[in-house]
Amino acid sequence: MTPREVHIIGAGPSGLTAALTLARNGVKTVVFEKAHDAGARFIGDYQGLENWSTEEDVLDFLASLGVAVNFRCVPYTAGTFYGPASDRFDVRAARPWFYLVERGVGPESLDQGLKRQALEAGAEIRFGRKVTHAEAERVIVATGPRAADAIARGVVFETSHPDACFGFLDDRLAPRAYAYLLIQAGRATLATCLYDDFRHAQTYFERALTTIRSVVDFDVRSPQTFGGYINFDVRPSWTRGDRLYFVGERAGFQDALWGFGLRYAMLSGFLAAHAILEDEDYDALCRQRIVPRIETSLANRLLFSQLGNHGYLWVLRRLAGRDVTASLRRHYEPSRPKRLLYEIARRQIHPHLRETACRQESCACLWCEHGKRVHTAAMDRCVADVTTPPSGLNA
């Protein structure tokens, strides 16, 4: 029986996708968000909707969820990667290998686009409301990651460089992960991602910024530093009783290899809403539609973590000149060997940091060190040192 009212805790992509799905089907839907607006923990940084893990194109995927593209969603079919010795490798794709999206409170952001659609569908969103107990018949919990399996430090800035995508594989810049530079419409996001050695995140950020500037010539104006974190996990259940439904990174739905989890977030929100509307088994839907590729990504993470710089060079040589989308899709296909590797990976890969909340205004907890408030003086000095030319024209 469809409930009369559903409460959703968290106005991220998973929560808002669930909200617009429920509201369009006549269910009274109330979203509670502790921040002042959707996307408030982001500053306009660019992320990607990956387009390689399935045959279904992102645009078709969004349409299948009932999500309109009323936000920045730019296809990228080529990119340039640099290996540990700054060797250059150009990659291409027969179709977009990812769609660039903007995060934050800007009018073209994914967050604001989904908010508009949820409101137009009839959902109610209550900002500035931190909820510890919800009284509705059904509650969808979309409060984001509980732990940090990987972190990112980066900078967002304005530039005159043309649109481009650059990636960097080098453990000296991004241990067991990658650094990147995305440029679109006069704005850019440069960041380093770490799956290891979190204590030295600042050092890796400084190295990445210096290295990227040495091989890519771009100007920097109005830089803003940021930090972030991701959490991936595979659990036996994503419900509690017949009332609570966990979605997005709160459910552990995240790509363990590269951290491209937006598709999983939105799909899980849709599946939770669908399960409520049709009185279906949400756990079964997750096991069918999401879990196999999450498990495969964990197996891929185990393999990638063993490569090191020599292995990265081998990977880049294999990808150069090939259809990168087809190559990546093969690695994301569930298989018996990947299932066996997953059984090893799930015992070896665990969150590095766990915090329930920030305890005070200024502390060294997860959320202060790697969350929105990671605009540290050290990061700002590093950006200023590397990006300010003698003329002093850059901010």
Q: What pTM, to 2 d.p., does this model score? A: 0.90
Question: Which DSSP helix (H) or strand (E) runs through 327?
Answer: helix 324-332
Lowest mean pLDDT among 131-135, 138-142, 220-224: 131-135
Q: Is the model's pLDDT at 270 over the cut of 50?
A: yes
Q: Is it the case that residue 373 has pLDDT exceeding 70?
A: no
Nearest to 85 by CA among 175, 171, 181, 201: 171
48 has which bridge partners?
100
- Confidence class of residue 361 from pLDDT cuts 50, 70 and 90? very low
Instruction: Compute the Cα dihedral for 63, 67, 69, 75 and give only its sign.
Output: negative
Model confidence pLDDT, tens digit, residues 198-229 = 989 999 999 999 999 999 999 999 999 999 88
Distance CA 58, CA 162 (A): 24
Mean pLDDT of 345-355: 64
Encoded tokens for 334: 């569930």
C-alpha to C-alpha distance for 147 and 357, rounded to whole angstroms: 10
Label residue 1 by pLDDT band (50, 70, 90).
confident
**pLDDT tens figures, 274-320:** 999 999 999 999 999 999 999 999 999 999 999 999 999 999 999 88
Q: Residue 394: is its pLDDT beyond 50? A: no
Domains detected in the chain: 5-149+231-354 (3.50.50.60)
The pLDDT confidence band at residue 3, using thresholds 50, 70 and 90, is: confident
Over residues 227-268, the pLDDT tens digits come to 988 988 888 999 998 899 999 999 999 999 999 999 999 999
